[in-house]
Structure formats: structure tokens, C-alpha cells
Copies of this chain bind each other. A is one copy, B any other.
Amino acid sequence: MARVAFQLMIRPGCIEAYDESHRHVWPEMLQALKSAGISNYSIFRRDRLLVLVLEVDNFERAWGQLGKNPVNLRWQTEMAPLFEPLTGLEAGERFPMMREVFFLE
């Protein structure tokens, strides 16, 4: 099971809307994440920077599956206005991924 982390940036003025949405994630959205094989999924925030950390067998396959899930598409449509555009992506990156440089079980 891979531990995966990536970054997102919240738009100025949207922090409270983001936090509030994530206090009330739809149960069917939680189920969609679970069905895609995602677990131990934490989202950490400081100021406008988000770091999303999760465990998944295959991140690309899971995100591909979520990309076809109507519940997730509806969720992403609601969340999209809260995010800054992605910048600095490397070739083939879906998000600004973080590399795990240390792990202690």
C-alpha cells in the first residue's frame, strides 16, 4: 500500500468555505473514496496550503476511477472554485506530488 501526498492551494478568502465543506463531506463521497481503494486519508492545512495524504494501492488507477464517478464529479465541481489553478506540474503529474523521503513504521 503506497503512501501518497500532494499539494493544493486554496484561493484567498476561501479557507473557511473549504474547512466547512470538509466537516460535512457527503457520505456518498466518502463511499466513493473507499470504493476507489483509498484509506487513511488526511487533509492538512496551514493558511492556504493543503497537503493531502492517503494510502492507496495505485494512485493513478484510483483517481481514474474517481474521475468516472458521478458523485465525485459533483463534489469536484463544488470544490473547484475554492482552489487556485495548479502550477509547476511536472510531466505526467495530475497534481503537485510530494515524494516520501523518510518513513518509520
Contacts and interface: CB of A to CB of B under 8 A. Distances in A.
A80 B103 CA distance: 20
Interface in A28-43: 30, 33-34, 38-43
A91 interface: no
Interface string A25-58: 1000010011000111111111001110100000
A84 to B, nearest CB: 15
Interface SS of A by simple majority: strand
Contacts of A51: 5, 44, 51, 53, 98
Interface residues of A, number: 34
B104 A46 contact: no
A34 B19 CA distance: 32
Interface of A: 3, 5, 7, 18-19, 22-23, 25, 30, 33-34, 38-46, 49-51, 53, 96-105
